[in-house]
């Protein structure tokens, strides 16, 4: 063993590798992304690593490997589990041979997600064991234990860190390579009575799962990470139940105090019932401090009723803890002070930070998506139109002055939403924007639906040849894999033609007039048609020289600022100015200026 300073996601990856990982697949999404990427970095070639087209594909791939005796891991964020839920629910019944860990990172806050969805619900819904680490060290150790439980009980298990565990850093003990487990898969052994999910098999599996989870509840009651801590005052008749990163906050708040009994729940499902009974005995009141939903609070309330325990359970349901958002050291300290009748901790005195400029989320300077949105906006000026957006960089098209995202629900949904609007309002020009990665993830089925059901819409694919918002991961349109192989690209245009879209045109959005003319012409056609705006992500290419403004021609009309909203153009000291540190010389602003006052860019010497 030796010490290393690691990010939580890196610790999870390293723990999985030490556990004998054979295959990892996933779909990028904050806060889970670095788990797969770290595995790829430390891979000695013995592990197959894949960014799949979506979470469902990733989970099914991981299942196939585990059927063959491999140890597999699948990574995603909490909303991604919704996409993977169909195979997940059936896999829970079929089970696995090799160890299989499904890592689903939750995002309290939410900091970068559509919802505050709590994966612990999915554990009880799917009837799968769930592990909930509270620190970077525990994440490293616990994922190795998760593989052991998975393999022992022939079931996939959920591993559910939250943002502050995923992105926290700590100096932790890790294994030397000589200590790693080496797992050699046996290979797939045909047995249709086990691997084919007939109704009779599901009935028997359901019986087995319920029996197994009763057993696991007992086993988890003795699991060393479900901890009951007597922190000082053994006569105290109050207790605190908590989990995950909140456990760290609780112990920080109790440091140095003659404090109550603490119960740390590391396996929210199956709930460690006997450990909970032991914790509750002799207590009058328990405060449950948890993030997202009141899972522990409900379980303890149920157990009190089942065992006739006269303990009052407090938490989110009783509004003693806030019902949404992240916990912090400060918020937990206040919750505990209120519960214990202690004086509330004084707010830490810190020097006031300097006032920051207002910086709303915005597309990068030089981002081709800005040109794409602007081209559609110009083309449809004065026409009744609706613009359905999607999850990714293109969500930022909603910001002013572009204002080009009327709806955004979840990944791929815009393609079908625009069809629904069009069926009700056939006089509306319906547009659906998707990115290239999103197209492969979940928009293809929407395109098929549109063609088959005779929708009248324009599908706009913003193809910047990467998965930009999560860190430039590859996808089938990029021609490279996570294993470093150069492979044949899957053509978005050919896919669209293959599913029946008759008109598919590709244009560089930075050629503005051509792009506007393309939108006018294509959108005027009836039925389903598509425009692929193709231009590389501005972050990944070497830009041209920055644009320059001819002060003799510039009238300070600010049209370039008011219509594009590019952070590379600012109004400073009474004149329009190019921010050279940001400008990529894309040339879009020079095409918008009515006075020809902006030049430079790729034409600059």
Rounded distance, CA 462 to CA 499, Å?
Answer: 19
| HSE-CB for 533 with a 13 A CA cutoff | 31
DSSP classification of residue 178: G
Cα–Cα distances in angstroms (integers) from residue 562 to residues 23, 401, 557, 569, in the given order: 50, 6, 9, 10
Which of 402, 469, 467 lies closest to 439 in space, CA to CA? Answer: 467
Cα–Cα distances in angstroms (integers) from residue 109 to residues 115, 134, 298, 322, in the given order: 9, 17, 21, 12
Check: pTM over 0.85? Answer yes or no: yes
Residues of the chain with pLDDT under 50: 604-605
Q: What is the 3-state secondary structure (H, E, C) of 194-259?
A: HHCCCHHHHHHHHHHHHHHHHHHHHHHHCCCCCEEEECCCCCCCEEEEECHHHHHHHHHHHCCCCC
Q: What are phi and psi of 362, to 5 degrees?
A: -150, 150
Which of 300, 295, 292, 248 lies closest to 275 in space, CA to CA? Answer: 300
Model pLDDT, residue 176: 96
Beta-strand relationship, 385-388 and 457-463: unpaired
Is-contact 312 284, C-beta < 8 A?
yes
Which of 111, 52, 119 lies closest to 81 in space, CA to CA? Answer: 119
Cα dihedral 160, 163, 165, 171, rounded to 10, equals 140
Is-contact 450 415, C-beta < 8 A?
yes
pLDDT, tens digit (0-9, with 9 covering 90-100), for 588-601? 999 999 999 998 76
Model pLDDT, residue 350: 73
Strand partners, 174: 2
Model pLDDT, residue 603: 53
Beta-strand relationship, 100-105 and 157-159: parallel
Q: What are phi and psi of 2, to 5 degrees?
A: -150, 170
**What stretch of H or E contains 169?**
strand 169-174
Is-contact 88 55, C-beta < 8 A?
no
Is-contact 390 411, C-beta < 8 A?
yes
Is-contact 290 264, C-beta < 8 A?
no
Strand partners, 354: none
7 is written with which tokens? 């990010």
Rounded distance, CA 28 to CA 566, Å?
Answer: 27
Rounded distance, CA 447 to CA 426, Å?
Answer: 18
Is-contact 134 160, C-beta < 8 A?
no
Is-contact 370 561, C-beta < 8 A?
no
Strand partners, 570: 577
Is-contact 514 522, C-beta < 8 A?
no
Q: Where are the beta strands (DSSP E) in 410-552?
A: 429-435, 457-463, 503-507, 528-534, 547-549
């Amino acid at each position: 063993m030796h010490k290393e300073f690691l990010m939580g996601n890196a610790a999870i990856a390293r723990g999985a590798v030490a556990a004998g990982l054979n295959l990892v697949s996933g779909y990028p999404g904050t806060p889970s992304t670095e788990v797969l990427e770290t595995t790829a970095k430390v891979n000695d070639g013995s592990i197959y690593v894949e960014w799949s087209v979506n979470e469902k594909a990733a989970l099914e791939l991981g299942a196939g490997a585990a059927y063959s005796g491999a140890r597999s891991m699948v990574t995603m964020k909490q909303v991604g589990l919704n996409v993977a839920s169909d195979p997940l629910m059936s896999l829970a019944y079929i089970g696995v041979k090799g160890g299989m860990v499904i890592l689903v990172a939750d995002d309290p806050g939410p900091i970068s997600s559509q919802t505050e969805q709590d994966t612990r619900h999915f554990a009880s819904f799917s009837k799968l064991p769930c592990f909930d680490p509270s620190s970077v060290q525990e994440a490293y150790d616990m994922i190795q234990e998760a593989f052991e439980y998975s393999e022992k009980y022939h079931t996939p298990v959920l591993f559910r860190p939250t943002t502050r565990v995923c992105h926290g850093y700590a100096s932790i003990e890790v294994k030397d390579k000589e200590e790693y487990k080496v797992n050699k898969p046996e290979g797939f052994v045909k047995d249709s009575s086990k691997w084919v999910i007939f109704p009779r098999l599901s009935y028997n599996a359901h019986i087995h799962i319920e029996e197994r989870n009763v057993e696991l509840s007992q086993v988890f009651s003795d699991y060393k990470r479900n901890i009951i801590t007597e922190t000082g005052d053994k006569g105290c008749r109050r207790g605190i139940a908590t989990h995950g990163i909140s456990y760290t906050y609780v112990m920080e708040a109790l440091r140095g105090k003659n404090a109550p009994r603490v119960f740390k729940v590391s396996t929210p499902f199956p709930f460690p019932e006997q450990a909970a009974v032991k914790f509750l005995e002799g207590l009058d009141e328990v405060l449950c401090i948890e993030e997202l939903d009141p899972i522990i609070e409900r379980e303890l309330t149920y157990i009190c009723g089942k065992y006739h325990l006269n303990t009052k359970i407090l938490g989110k349901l009783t509004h003693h803890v806030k019902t949404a958002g992240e916990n912090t050291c400060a918020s937990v300290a206040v919750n505990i002070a209120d519960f214990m009748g202690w004086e509330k901790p004084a707010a830490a005195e810190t020097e006031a930070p300097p006032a920051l400029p207002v910086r709303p989320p915005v597309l990068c300077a030089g981002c081709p998506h800005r040109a794409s949105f602007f081209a559609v906006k110009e083309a449809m000026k004065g026409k009744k139109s609706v613009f359905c957006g999607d999850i990714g960089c293109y969500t930022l098209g909603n910001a002013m002055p572009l204002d080009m995202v009327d709806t955004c629900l979840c990944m791929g949904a815009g393609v079908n939403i625009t069809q629904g609007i069009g069926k009700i309002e056939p006089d509306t020009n319906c547009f659906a924007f998707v990115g290239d990665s999103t197209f492969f993830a979940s928009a293809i089925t929407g395109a098929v639906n549109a063609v088959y059901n005779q929708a009248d819409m324009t599908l706009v694919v913003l193809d910047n040849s990467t998965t930009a918002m999560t860190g430039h991961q590859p996808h089938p349109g990029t021609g490279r894999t996570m294993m470093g192989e150069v492979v044949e690209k899957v053509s978005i245009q050919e896919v669209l033609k293959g599913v029946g879209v008759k008109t598919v045109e590709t244009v560089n959005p930075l050629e503005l007039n051509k792009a506007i003319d393309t939108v006018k012409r294509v959108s005027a056609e009836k039925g389903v048609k598509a425009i692929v705006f193709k231009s590389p992500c501005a972050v990944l290419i070497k830009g041209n020289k920055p644009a320059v403004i001819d002060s003799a021609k510039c009238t300070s009309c600010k049209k370039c600022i008011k219509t594009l909203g590019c952070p590379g153009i600012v109004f400073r000291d009474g004149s329009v100015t190019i921010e050279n540190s940001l400008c990529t010389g894309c040339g879009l602003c020079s095409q918008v200026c009515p006075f020809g006052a902006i030049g430079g860019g790729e034409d600059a010497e």
